[in-house]
Amino acid sequence: MRKLTRTIAVGATAAVLAVSGAQAPASADSDLPNFRFGVQMIDNGVEVGDMQFTPFLSFGGGCSPFANDTNTFDPDGIRINLNAAPRGTLGSRDFRIGIQATDNNGSQTGPVQWTPWASEGGGESGFAFDTNFFDPDQVRVCLEARPVPPGITFFDFRLSVRAVDGGGADQGGFRQFTPWAFDRGGLSPWAFDSNAFDPDGFAVGIEVY
Q: Name every residue whose Cβ is closer than 8 Å to that of residue 183 and which is 6 or more positions away in sequence.
A: none
pLDDT at 23: 52
Sign of CA dihedral 104, 198, 129, 137: negative
Report the C-alpha gap between 60 and 72 in whole angstroms: 29
Q: What is the pLDDT of residue 7?
A: 30
pLDDT at position 25, please? 55
* Alpha-carbon distances, residue 180 vs 30, 57, 62, 147, 159 (angstroms): 15, 16, 21, 21, 8
Q: Is the pLDDT at 188 greater than 80, yes or no?
A: yes
Q: Where are the domains of the chain?
A: 30-208
Name the pLDDT band for 30 (thresholds 50, 70, 90): confident
How do residues 153-172 score in pLDDT, each as one tens digit?
889 999 999 999 999 999 99
What is the rounded distance in angstroms from the CA atom of residue 91 to the CA atom of residue 112?
Answer: 26
Instruction: Please determine, for residue 26, whether its predicted confidence score (pLDDT) is greater than 70.
Output: no
What are the C-alpha distances in Å from 122 to residues 78, 94, 125?
21, 11, 9
pLDDT band at 5 (very low <50, low <70, confident <90, very high): very low
Looking at residue 1, its pLDDT comes to 31
pLDDT tens for 39-90 read: 999 999 999 999 999 999 999 999 999 999 999 999 999 999 999 999 999 9
CA dist 184 and 182 (Å) reads 5
Report the alpha-carbon distance of residue 80 to residue 95 in Å, rounded. 16
Residue 43 near residue 71 (C-beta atoms within 8 A) = yes
Look at the pTM and tell me if it is higher than 0.85: yes
Over range 21-46, report the average pLDDT.
80
pLDDT digits (tens, 9 = 90+) for 94-153: 999 999 999 999 999 999 999 999 999 999 999 999 999 999 999 999 999 999 999 998
pLDDT at 104: 97
d(CA 187, CA 176): 10
